[in-house]
Amino acid sequence: MSRVSVSPPVLLPALAGLILAAAIVPSLAVGADSVVAKAGTVELTSVDLRRLVDALPAQGRQSLAGNPGALAQAVRGELLRRLILDEARAKGFDRDPSVTTKVDKLRDEIVVRQWLAHAAQPAVGYPSDEEIERAHQALAERVAGTSDYRLAQVYISAPDGAPSDKTQAALRKAGEVQAKLGGDFSALAKTYSEHAESAAKGGDLGFLPESRLLPGVRAALPAMKVGDVAGPIKTAQGIHFIRLLEKKPASVPPLADVREALVAELRQEKVADLQQRYLAELAQKSPPTLNEIELAKLVPAAR
C-alpha cells in the first residue's frame, strides 16, 4: 500500500494525499450571479467561476484557496480560453471534420473513463473499522526495523533530459557548493539550494522515513554518522548535497492521526481491484477475436 508523501525533492513523488474540500475563496462572495470578469464580449459571473473552481482537482482547489493572485491568473486564463472558443466557433472551425473527429474521440474516452469509475465504486461502508486497523498494523510491520532521518539538503535542479546549457549551469553551481562543504552547511543551503521551503530553514527537511526518500539519497545514509555530509548525489530530479542531522527508529503515528489517509488509500486500491475484475469479466463475456491474416496486412501501413 502506498504512503502519503510530501514535497521536498529528496522524496519520492506523492501517490496520495488528504483531500481538503476547499471552498470558493472569499473574493467570490460578490452576489448571486454578479459579473466577476470581462474581456470583449465574454463575461464570467460568480456562478461561472464557482463551476470553474469546483471542476478543478483537489490540489488545484487547494492552490487557489486564499491565493487571490493564483485565482486572478486562473480567471484570465478562462477568459482567454472562451475568447478563443468564440472566435473558432464564429469561423465555423468547430464544424471542421478534423476537429469533430477529435471531439468525438475525446467524448468517447471520457464516457469510457467515467463508466469505468462508476462500475468500480467501492461500497459506501468500505473500508470497515477492522480493515482500517489491519492496514494500520501492516504499516507498523513495514516500518519495523527502519529509521527516520532528519536531513538538511542543498538541492540544485538538474532534471534528466534538461537542455545542456541548464545542465552545465547546474554542474557549475554544484561545483561551487562542493568546494565550500567544509563551511556552514545551513548558510550554503540558504545561498544555493533551489528548494525554497527548506532553504529558508537552512536546508532542514525535518524527520523523514527512509521509505519515502529517493533511492540515491537513501543509499548514502547507511555509511553516514550524525553530522556527516554526502554529495553530490544525482537523481532524476537534480543534484543533492545532504547532511544527517538526527536518526531515530521509525515510528507509526497513532491510528487516529492517519485514519483518513488509510481510508483514502484502501478505497483507491479497491477501485483498482474492481476495475481489473470488471475488465476481466467483460473480456470473458465478450472475448476478443482477431483476423490474423487481415491484421498482418495492416502492419506495413502502420509503420
DSSP at 32:
S
Closest Cα to residue 39, out of 1, 61, 5, 72?
A: 72
What mean pLDDT value characterizes the chain?
Answer: 84
Percentage, residues of the chain above pLDDT 90 = 50
Output the pLDDT for position 1: 41
Domain co-membership, 266 together with 245: no
- Is residue 293's pLDDT more than 90? no
Verify that 152 and 198 share a domain, yes or no.
yes
The predicted-structure confidence for 73-127, as pLDDT tens digits, reads as follows 888 999 999 999 999 999 999 999 999 999 999 999 999 999 999 999 999 899 9
Question: Does residue 295 fall inside a structural domain?
Answer: no
Residues 128 and 1 in one domain: no
| Full residue range of the structural domain in which residue 179 is found | 147-249
Mean local confidence (pLDDT), 16-43: 56
pLDDT at position 14, please? 33
pLDDT band at 60 (very low <50, low <70, confident <90, very high): confident
The answer to whether 210 and 221 are in contact (CB under 8 A) is yes
Does residue 179 carry a pLDDT above 70?
yes
Nearest partner of 49 among 88, 86, 23, judged by Cα: 23
Domain identity same for 16 and 39: yes
234 shares its domain with 197? yes
Residue 217 · residue 10 · CB < 8 Å: yes
Of residues 15 and 93, more confidently modeled: 93
pLDDT at 20: 26
Q: Which three cell numbers stand for residue 67?
A: 491565493
Within a domain: 82: yes
In a domain, residue 296? The reply is no
What radius of gyration do the chain's Cα atoms show?
26
Tell whether 170 is covered by a domain. Answer: yes
Question: Domain tally for the chain?
Answer: 3
pTM over 0.75: no
Q: What is the pLDDT of residue 185?
A: 94
Do 37 and 60 fall into the same domain? yes
CB 103 within 8 A of CB 57: no
The whole-number pLDDT of residue 202 equals: 93
At 248, give phi and psi (nearest 5°).
-150, 160
Neighbours of 29 (CB within 10 A): 10
Judge whether 38 lies within some domain. Answer: yes
pLDDT at 28 over 60: no
What is the pLDDT at residue 25? Answer: 39
The x, y and z cell numbers of residue 106, run together, are: 475525446
In the DSSP assignment, the letter for residue 182 is T
Residues 244 and 151 in one domain: yes
Provide the pLDDT for residue 130: 94
Same-domain pairing of 153 and 74: no
Three-state SS for 242? strand
Residue 262: inside a domain: yes
Task: Find the mean pLDDT for residues 195-219.
Answer: 89
* CATH value at residue 245: 3.10.50.40
At residue 10, the pLDDT reads: 63
pLDDT on residue 135: 93
139 within some domain: yes
Tell me, yes or no, whether 239 lies in a domain. Answer: yes
Report the pLDDT value the prediction gives residue 32, as an integer from 0 to 100.
56
Mean pLDDT of 32-61: 83
